[in-house]
Structure 1
């Protein structure tokens, strides 16, 4: 049972289905902020940066069609605006247009071969497409560029974890945490690799920290429950699994864990 209970959360973490670090940080997607950005565009209708920033805000708000329209306009004004190519690539990826996203990311790195965000975005796209080696190479490129973007280390850590190279994964998750210590995802990732190495105490500390940072992430509660389960404390495990299933009724590791400790 131990192998099964460990494998399921690791698989969830590897796919990135549960959590991601912030993808678009250029602007917040609030209505107030978008209104202020629209006012900037009205004052400077030929400024591609204004459209790029508002497009990022629309992306943050999940208004993908409006984001695409703004990135299109930015690129009409300045076809060499590599940040807008990469941002549009991200929105296309989120909309499921993988070929379009790949073309945009490729154009971004053609225009600026030192643009770390484009490599990270393209790496995530390659990972979505099952092209693990290409994804790994892009995350490596970003890291060699001395990126300060935690996503490069986090996503490379997921690939190391998927390959069972947990010591390398722990190093990468730790680097991600040093760059962005307010997100639960790298704590959950590192905790799962600690767990795979039999280091339950450090794993438990990471899962607890993930919950402290955001107590509405089902994966964090399910991971905490897994440690309780390994300790034989089914009462606490059941409570944490229940919390996870309340937050996300479709989260398979929590549902399966709850069945195990309730039988």
Structure 2
């Protein structure tokens, strides 16, 4: 999740988009951070906290930036401060959960997200992050239940549709996965990742022509996406179009010469086409 998502969430009523002081300061901090000026960004929060030391939003947001800088203990101290002021401030629990998740402390992260969704059951961001823990724990049924909860709150949450699709794919429910990817594409038609995943699901279904259309779409969006050329190569191979597949393998290796799997496929294709 990007910085803006972490600060403001998505469709979370506790941090409405508007022109209030907190939101204005936070957006300025995001802008500075995107320029790599993190210390100045943190200074934005400090100035507010000097005048309003009980501002839980600013304590939370300062913690987020410190976490992004790898200053774990300082970040945790900010969230402890926020929760000491307001133990029911759900965004601080979400922020703590994200810190633990990145450090692979899954149980600790899940505890934080459990607390967040209990405090604010309508937080799409909290449910979404909770689902990621279940994926990491290989508890796909629980992850799916969380994604569905996210989408009941916000039907246009593209990342949730995408990840629900991938969870369905891992459950070998490939048609359901394609349906999820279609919902994601409806809101974000320019996503290389979603088109690639949809192509992979169609490939698994043996729908090679439809998969090829997806990978062509991927490469129209990003012609330098090496994995897109490799995936197109695989589809063309299954369609018996070996020379075209070889050209795609060459293109993939031109972009990423270190891909051993593509190199092996290219070697096989050369063998198949050497007498043509």
Unaligned runs of 5+ in 1: 1-21
Q: Which residue of 2 aligns with 1:16?
A: none
TM score, norm. by length of structure 2: 0.73
Superposed CA offset, 1:112-165 (max 9, x none) = 111111221111111111111111111121122234321211111112222332
Q: Which residue of 2 aligns with 1:38?
A: 42
In 2, distance between residues paired with 1:48 and 1:248? Answer: 46
Alignment map for 1:169-188 (pairs within 5 Å): 169-188=177-196
1:206 to 214, 217, 225: 214
- Superposed displacement of residue 223, structure 1: 1.3
The count of residues paired between Structure 1 and Structure 2 equals: 239
In 1, distance between residues paired with 2:46 and 2:225? Answer: 39
| Bigger shift: residues 80-89 or 234-243 | 234-243
Unaligned runs of 5+ in 2: 6-29, 272-276
Superposed CA offset, 1:166-207 (max 9, x none) = 221111001112233332111111112222333333322221
Alignment map for 1:239-258 (pairs within 5 Å): 239-245=247-253, 254-258=262-266
1:76 maps to 2:84 = no
Which of structures 1 and 2 has the larger relative contact order (alpha carbons within 8 angstroms, sep 6+)? 1
1:48 to 48, 52, 56: 56
Q: Which residue of 2 aligns with 1:161?
A: 169
Partner secondary structure for residue 123 of structure 1: helix
| Bigger shift: residues 146-155 or 183-192 | 146-155
Superposed CA offset, 1:16-56 (max 9, x none) = xxxxxx56543475344534422311311233333444554
Once superposed, what is the RMSD of the aligned Cα atoms? 2.9
